[in-house]
Amino acid sequence: MQPPDPPTVHRQTNRLGCIVGLGCIMLSIGLILSIAIYTYAAHPTHLSIMSKATPTLTGTFSTPPPKITCTTIPQHKGDKTISITSSGLKRTMLIHLASSYGIQPQALIINYHGYNSTIEHFAHYSNMETEADKAGFVLVFPQGVDNPPSWNAGVGARGPTGDANDIQFTRDMLNFLEKNYCVDTDRVYVTGYSLGGGMAYRVACSLSDRITALATVAGAFYPAPGGCQPAHPIPVLEIHGQADQFAIYNGNPTLMTTSVPVYLHIWLTRDGCSHSSRVIFQRQDVTGIEWGNCVPGVMVEQYKVSDGGHTWPGGGSSATLGYTTHVIDANVVIWNFFRQFSK
Residue 106 lies in a domain: yes
DSSP character string of 117-161: --HHHHHHHH-HHHHHHHHT-EEEEEPPBTTTTB---STT-SS-S
Mean pLDDT of 5-19: 44
Q: Does the pLDDT at position 297 exceed 80?
A: yes
Region 149-167: what's the mean pLDDT? 76
The span from the CA of 19 to the CA of 36, in Å, is: 26
Model confidence band, residue 3 (pLDDT cutoffs 50, 70, 90): very low
Three-class HEC string of 276-322: CEEEEEEECCEEEEEECCCCCCCCEEEEEECCCCCCCCCCCCECCCE
How do residues 240-252 score in pLDDT, each as one tens digit? 999 999 999 999 9
Mean pLDDT of 292-312: 96
Pairing of strands 89-97, 213-217: unpaired
Q: How confident is the model at residue 125 (pLDDT cuts 50, 70, 90)?
A: very high
pLDDT digits over 232-241, tens only?
Answer: 999 999 999 9
- The pTM for the full model equals 0.80
Task: Classify residue 274: in a domain, yes or no.
Answer: yes
For residue 310, which of 196, 157, 193 has the smallest C-alpha distance?
193
* Residue 303: strand pairing partners: 239, 288
Q: Are the beta carbons of 325 and 286 closer than 8 angstroms?
A: yes
Which pLDDT belongs to residue 63? 58
What is the chain's mean pLDDT, rounded?
A: 85
Q: In what order do the strands lie in the sheet with 106-112?
A: 78-86, 89-97, 138-142, 106-112, 183-193, 213-217, 236-241, 300-305, 286-291, 277-283
Beta strands (DSSP E) in 46-104 are 78-86, 89-97
Whether the predicted pLDDT of 121 surpasses 90: yes
| pLDDT surpassing 50 at residue 45 | no
pLDDT tier for residue 53 given thresholds of 50, 70 and 90:
very low
pLDDT tens digit sequence for 17-42:
434 454 444 545 554 545 444 444 44
For residue 30, is it within any domain? no
pLDDT 10s digits, 89-98 = 999 999 999 9
* Rounded-to-integer distance, Cα 185 and Cα 210, Å: 8
∠ at Cα 267 (159, 196), nearest 5°? 25
Q: Note whether residue 22 is domain-resident.
A: no
Look at residue 60 and tell me if it is in a domain: no
Q: 187-223 pLDDT, tens per residue? A: 999 999 999 999 999 999 999 999 999 999 999 999 8
Compute φ and ψ for 113, nearest 5 degrees. -70, 170
Residue 34 located in a structural domain: no
31: in domain: no
Q: Which residue has the higher pLDDT, 306 or 319?
A: 306
DSSP for 225-245 reads TT----SS---EEEEEETT-T
**Is residue 71 domain-resident?**
no
**Length of the chain counted residue by residue:** 343
Label residue 164 by pLDDT band (50, 70, 90): confident
- pLDDT for 68 equals 79
Domain count of the fold of the chain: 1
Query: Which residues does residue 15 pair with via DSSP β-bridges, in sequence order?
Result: none
- pLDDT of 342: 97
Which among 137, 242, 243 has a CA at the least distance from the CA of 189? 137
Question: What's the CATH code of the domain at 315?
Answer: 3.40.50.1820
Q: Which domain holds residue 306?
A: 78-338
Q: What is the DSSP letter of 268?
A: H
Count, in order, helices (H) and strands (E) of the chain: 8, 10
